[in-house]
């Protein structure tokens, strides 16, 4: 099945889906993060201040 999103290479059961955000000045940041759809996996890769990070715990923001 061609779903358009890559399979998660960590758990092999979820998909990696993109998330976008807004910068400090309100500019859109497309594909800031990719996260696994499998809640038991939790794999994520993201860009923070120009640095690539992955595997950090996901938390809901209070904003």
| Bridge partners (DSSP) listed for residue 54 | 45
- Structural domain including 32 reads 1-56
pLDDT for the residue 31:
86
Question: pLDDT tier at 21 (50, 70, 90 boundaries)?
Answer: confident
Report whether 33 contacts 18 (CB < 8 A): yes
Assess if residue 11 is contained within a domain: yes
Assess if residue 30 is contained within a domain: yes
pLDDT for the residue 1:
47
Assess if residue 43 is contained within a domain: yes
CA 47/CA 45 separation, integer angstroms: 7
Global pTM value: 0.72
Assess if residue 28 is contained within a domain: yes
Assess if residue 63 is contained within a domain: no
Assess if residue 61 is contained within a domain: no
Q: Is 12 or 60 the better-scoring residue by pLDDT? A: 12
pLDDT at 57 over 70: no
Over residues 27-49, the mean pLDDT reads: 89
How many domains, the chain? 1
């Amino acid at each position: 099945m061609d779903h358009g999103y890559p399979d998660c290479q960590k758990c092999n059961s979820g998909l990696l889906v993109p998330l976008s955000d807004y910068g400090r000045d309100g500019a859109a940041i497309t594909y800031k993060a990719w996260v696994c759809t499998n809640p038991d996996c939790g794999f994520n890769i993201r860009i923070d201040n120009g640095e690539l990070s992955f595997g950090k715990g996901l938390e809901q923001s209070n904003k």
